[in-house]
Amino acid sequence: MAHSHQASGIQAGRLTADDIATNFEDLHHPFDAHEAAVAADRCYFCFDAPCMQACPTSIDIPQFIREIQGGQPTAAAKTILEQNILGGMCARVCPTETLCEEVCVRETAEGKPVEIGRLQRFATDTLMEKGVHPFTRDATTGKKVAVVGAGPAGLSAAHRLAMKGHDVVVFEHKSKAGGLNEFGIAAYKSTNEFAAREVAWLMQIGGITIEYDKGFGKGLTLDGLKADYDAVFLSIGLAGVNTLRAAGEDKDGVRDAVDFIEDVRQADELSALPVGRNVVVIGGGMTAVDAAVQSKLLGAENVTIAYRRGRDAMGASRFEQDLAASKGVKLMFNVMPREILGNGASAEIELEYTQVVDGRVTGTGETTRLAADQVFKAIGQTLEGAPQGLALVGGKIQVSDTGRTSVDGVWAGGDCASGGEDLTVTAVAEGRDAAMDIHASLMG
């Protein structure tokens, strides 16, 4: 079906290429060596440090900051990467403001935490720029493990398994590795092909091969994998997207925010990307903020995030909310979509005001309309394409603390698995911990 974007107000070239390039520069300027030394000096090196407790991967933060302070950034990087092999990406995308930095003693005392995220980036970037891989492989065990999905959980598991001497084959249904690190993170948080460079660096451990365009529904079955491999780790993410349950959802100009974010990340020429004049994003998480901010950076005139609950319930952190506001994005609370109006293509959206009664969102009957030639759905993703026979809980694959599924010899982690928050850093921890459990069971 031909889409006439011009008529609907979705068009490319709203800003010059130079303006767009400036807009998409690194969100957080990286430290130079002097800035890193000054920032490291602010750390109290707390015994029993609260920042470590708050890190889902339990990085020894005081230790790595002390190593930076001592002029040893590569040693600091090794301390980080021992716990979190994707420490470089996590330094860029982790919501440090609600994790390690929120509980920093300096944040509590004076409202300005040690800049742990930027210090972590300084250390990991220094090591990666040297092109060295700080880990060596154990003697080969002759065991073979299949990993399905090359996102953060799968890559983390693959690296740890390879390090322990197992041979790992990673199957990835797309044509590039990295998962949401490659396809789902705002372009201004991961510049200069960082995700792809991090994968190449991780692969230097040896013992890992990646096969692309392979997955469930693309040549793989769970029974086949169980027959061919000694263990299987599933990290297939969440491929489905929830529906708005609003009339007119099928009109042109309405699409999934994750697809738009992927387009922005994979675009060779950002100024060629079409964007609406009046953009409305439905949702309240990081994805909603990433889609809204990038719409604005591409030149959309009016961008609104419409969220069905109040500000405090929003999944996006206060830092992310303020980032959106600083870019001119309007935040609307307590509204839900009723109907998308327009002749074939979206022109307006009707929103109903909501109230939360006993924790449940209900409409008040009062409505308002916004001009909307582009509507993005950022209301959460759903498990799709999981193999039959796995027990599910809450719409995800049920797993134990170490990632064991209900099927013997099969583990799972990351967004597709029950438990933790849907964060890169949580996925890395789950992949690492499952790998250690797989290793123990293979060698037991």
3-state secondary structure of 278: strand
Structure tokens at 187: 């372009």
pLDDT at 6 over 60: no
Rg (CA), the chain: 23
Residue 29: how many other CB atoms lie within 10 Å: 9
pLDDT at 18 over 80: yes
Beta-carbon contacts of 252 under 8 Å, excluding residues fewer than 6 positions away, are 3, 8, 344, 345, 346
Q: Residues 206-235: what's their mean pLDDT?
A: 97
pLDDT at 7: 52
Largest Cα–Cα separation, the chain: 68
H/E stretch holding 331: strand 330-332
pLDDT at 419: 86
pLDDT at 5: 47
Q: Can you tell me the distance from the alpha carbon of 444 to that of 442, in angstroms, rounded to the nearest whole number?
A: 6
pLDDT at 329 over 70: yes
Burial 406-444 (b: 16+ CB within 10 A, else e): ebebbbbbbbbbbebebbbbbbbbbbbbbbbbbbeebee
Higher pLDDT, 45 or 6: 45
Question: Contact at 8 Å (CB) between 399 and 413?
Answer: yes
pLDDT at 2 over 80: no
pLDDT at 422: 85
Q: Residues 55-79: what's their mean pLDDT?
A: 97
Question: Contact at 8 Å (CB) between 229 and 112?
Answer: no
DSSP string, 153-171: HHHHHHHHHHHTT-EEEEE
Percent of the chain at pLDDT exceeding 90: 95
Structural domains of the chain in order of their starting residue, each with its CATH number: 33-129 (1.10.1060.10), 144-239+383-443 (3.50.50.60), 242-380 (3.50.50.60)
pLDDT at 270 over 80: yes
Structure tokens at 96: 């440090």
Q: Residues 177-182: what's their mean pLDDT?
A: 96
Q: Can you tell me the distance from the alpha carbon of 8 to that of 254, in angstroms, rounded to the nearest whole number?
A: 11
pLDDT at 4 over 70: no
Q: Can you tell me the distance from the alpha carbon of 125 to that of 192, in angstroms, rounded to the nearest whole number?
A: 13
Structure confidence by residue, pLDDT tens digits, 275-320:
999 999 999 999 999 999 999 999 999 999 999 999 999 999 999 9
Q: What is the pTM of this model?
A: 0.94
Q: What is the mean pLDDT of the chain?
A: 95
Beta-carbon contacts of 247 under 8 Å, excluding residues fewer than 6 positions away, are 338, 339, 340
Q: Can you tell me the distance from the alpha carbon of 131 to that of 420, in angstroms, rounded to the nearest whole number?
A: 33
Q: Can you tell me the distance from the alpha carbon of 340 to that of 345, in angstroms, rounded to the nearest whole number?
A: 9
pLDDT at 145 over 70: yes
Q: Residues 336-355: what's their mean pLDDT?
A: 97
